Amino acid sequence: MAEPKVDVKPKQPKERKPKFATTSGIEVRTFYTPRDLEQSAYERDLGAPGEYPYTRGVQATMYRGRFWTMRQYAGFATAEESNRRYRYLLAQGQTGLSVAFDLPTQMGYDSDHPLATGEVGKVGVSIASLEDMETLFKDIPLDRVSTSMTINATAGILLAMYIAVAEKQGVNRGKLSGTIQNDILKEYSARGTYIFPPRPSLRLITDIFAFCARELPDWNTISISGYHMREAGSTAVQEVAFTLANGIEYVRAATKAGLDVDTFAPRLSFFFNAHNELFEEVAKFRAARRLWAKIMRERFGARHPRSLMLRFHTQTAGCTLTAQQPDNNVVRVTLQALAAVLGGTQSLHTNSRDEALALPSEASARLALRTQQVIAHESGVSDTVDPLAGSYYVETLTNEIERAAQAYIDRIEAMGGAAAAIERGFVQDEIHQSAYRYQKEIERGERVVVGVNQFAMEERPPEGLLKVDPTVQEAQISRLRRLRAERDNPAVQRALAELESAARGADNLMPPIVAAVREYATLGEIADRLRGVFGEYHPPAGL
């Protein structure tokens, strides 16, 4: 077997000319001294872990008490196949589930809808009904597992299905713990899996806030996500700024709807990206915590300590993974995971080495989980809280990221808030420009991507990639047809009519959604009733 040929003349600049600046454009000086901090207005805010403004962490002991929740984002093909993967990962030491749904499920289409063709089970698991959800969580005790669901436009429907599955297991809904992403604003600016216009979407979100405050006290009602904006090309500063601006919009909408801030704010959570630049990422997480604490106390008058805490899940950066030399991705993910831990994350997903080529194989998912376990048990970085605190460089970066992010937030608020800024295209344009600048830096060799613009080599396609069976859609359609034939269809229609009536009025939408799900109304049928009332969102021309 011939050995791979190494390019002995890799494409590179004539001499090393790095920019010596972070991805956010913050200048990196040759070295740092106490003088860089002595004039800072932020130095006094360092504080202690577990104390306002939470720069050093939201818990006093952090990982000395317990490690972060180790999740592996998983879901593909049918509910049966995903259930097998979940039980495998739990057996390997994973401590929480993180569910990926396919695009039809995210967009509110059943698997037999024409727009679902070719997408069923491809980027996540296909869920059309309570029956699918029952299969997905078969033999998984929902009162002992925390479940995160990456779902937005149809978040209320999937949460209702989860509640109904728990009830069938004999689990009281008040004992359920987990998170729904439920962050629609970033869909308009960075991702695109929206259904309804912003105003009814915000109503759905605030209805979930109110419902869970009463019924699911341990459930995180939203995961305000900067991850996807970073994947789309934002800088670290923009990721913090746009995420917190969206958070302000959600809190403002909920308080306008009559909710007391301290009744729902303790269950808000966030979702960030962990990129390659170790120190900038650590500083980003610290700055975000401090900013959010100030926003909640000073802008919204929150008093409950948990209302002030920015608790967040982190996922390593999918956009940094390369199809070339995929083993290099193991190193990238390790650095990114380390940044998340040093930055004080509450929950972590590590990407798999082969994700630039396919859905992760079982072996790759296991290695990604082992990466977290090695950091937790062997590196020593979890033995003390915020180990980089006091570093002249890290503290200066933390201050500068906070300052720059606050400037963005001020600009967005001057436009009328995050929703207005998105409608104007401001957020989208800022992300697009940042993505373009970053790509040009790679093309000019100012930023090296190992194995891509330097140190490239001829390669064979790796073996063992996961492939989704193309017959999955046919199987799901057959299952759906059988369900529709066997269920109590008059009861389904009554439940859907009650949901439509509630949507036309002002009642909380979660109870009728739960009632419809219990009768085995499908996700597409529920979403269609809401489409009929709320309409569908279409982005402005040019965005």
Q: Is residue 41 pLDDT above 70, yes or no? A: no
Q: What is the pLDDT of residue 21?
A: 87
Residue 528 maps to a domain: no
Q: Is residue 19 pLDDT above 70, yes or no? A: no
10 Å Cβ neighbour count for 102?
26
Q: How confident is the model at residue 468 (pLDDT cuts 50, 70, 90)?
A: confident
pLDDT in tens, 172-190: 999 999 999 999 999 999 9
Tell me the H-state helices in 415-522: 418-424, 426-443, 472-486, 489-504, 510-518
Residue 48 maps to a domain: yes
Q: What is the side-by-side strand order in the sheet with 312-316?
A: 219-220, 178-180, 146-150, 96-100, 69-74, 347-349, 312-316, 268-274, 222-225
Q: What is the dihedral of CA 500, 104, 176, 245, to 10 degrees?
A: -80
How much is the pTM? 0.89
Q: Is residue 373 pLDDT above 90, yes or no? A: yes
Q: What is the pLDDT of residue 96?
A: 82
Number of domains into which the chain is organized: 1
Q: Which residues form the domain of 228?
A: 35-415
Q: What is the pLDDT of residue 143?
A: 93
Q: How confident is the model at residue 333 (pLDDT cuts 50, 70, 90)?
A: very high
10 Å Cβ neighbour count for 156?
23
Q: How confident is the model at residue 460 (pLDDT cuts 50, 70, 90)?
A: confident
Q: For the residues 425-437, what does the mean pLDDT come to?
A: 96
Q: What's the rounded Cα separation, in Å, for the pair 121 and 132?
A: 12
Residue 207 maps to a domain: yes
Q: How confident is the model at residue 542 (pLDDT cuts 50, 70, 90)?
A: low
CA 316 to chain centre: 10
Provide the mean pLDDT of the chain.
92
DSSP 224: E
Q: What is the pLDDT of residue 15?
A: 53
Q: Is residue 42 pLDDT above 60, yes or no? A: no
Residue 184 maps to a domain: yes
Q: What is the pLDDT of residue 360?
A: 84
HSE value, Cβ hemisphere, 13 Å, CA-based, for 468: 27
Q: What is the pLDDT of residue 5?
A: 46
Q: For the residues 449-458, what does the mean pLDDT come to?
A: 94
Max CA pair span of the chain: 74
Q: For the residues 271-286, what does the mean pLDDT come to?
A: 97
Nearest CA-CA partner of 184 in 171, 174, 198: 198
Q: Please tell me which residue, 214 or 464, carries the higher pLDDT value.
A: 214
Residue 282 maps to a domain: yes
What's the burial of 486, exposed, middle or buried (CB within 10 Å: 0-12/13-18/19+)?
exposed
Q: What's the rounded Cα separation, in Å, for the pair 310 and 329?
A: 29
Q: What is the pLDDT of residue 3?
A: 47
Q: Please tell me which residue, 363 or 285, carries the higher pLDDT value.
A: 285
Q: Is residue 44 pLDDT above 60, yes or no? A: no
Residue 344 maps to a domain: yes
Cα–Cα–Cα angle for 521, 510, 200, rounded to 5 degrees: 100
Residue 464 maps to a domain: no
pLDDT in tens, 291-300: 999 999 999 9
Residue 250 maps to a domain: yes
Q: What is the pLDDT of residue 29?
A: 85
Q: Is residue 14 pLDDT above 90, yes or no? A: no
CATH code at position 344: 3.20.20.240
Q: For the residues 199-207, what does the mean pLDDT come to?
A: 95
Least confident of 39-53, 246-260, 516-530: 39-53
Q: What is the dihedral of CA 337, 342, 346, 349, to 10 degrees?
A: 0
Q: For the residues 92-114, what does the mean pLDDT come to?
A: 92
Q: Is residue 125 pLDDT above 80, yes or no? A: yes
Q: What is the pLDDT of residue 279?
A: 98
CA 340 to chain centre: 14
Q: Is 154 helix (H, G, I), strand (E, B) or coil?
A: coil
Q: What is the pLDDT of residue 6?
A: 41
Q: Is residue 466 pLDDT above 90, yes or no? A: no
Q: Is 100 helix (H, G, I), strand (E, B) or coil?
A: strand
Q: How confident is the model at residue 8 (pLDDT cuts 50, 70, 90)?
A: very low
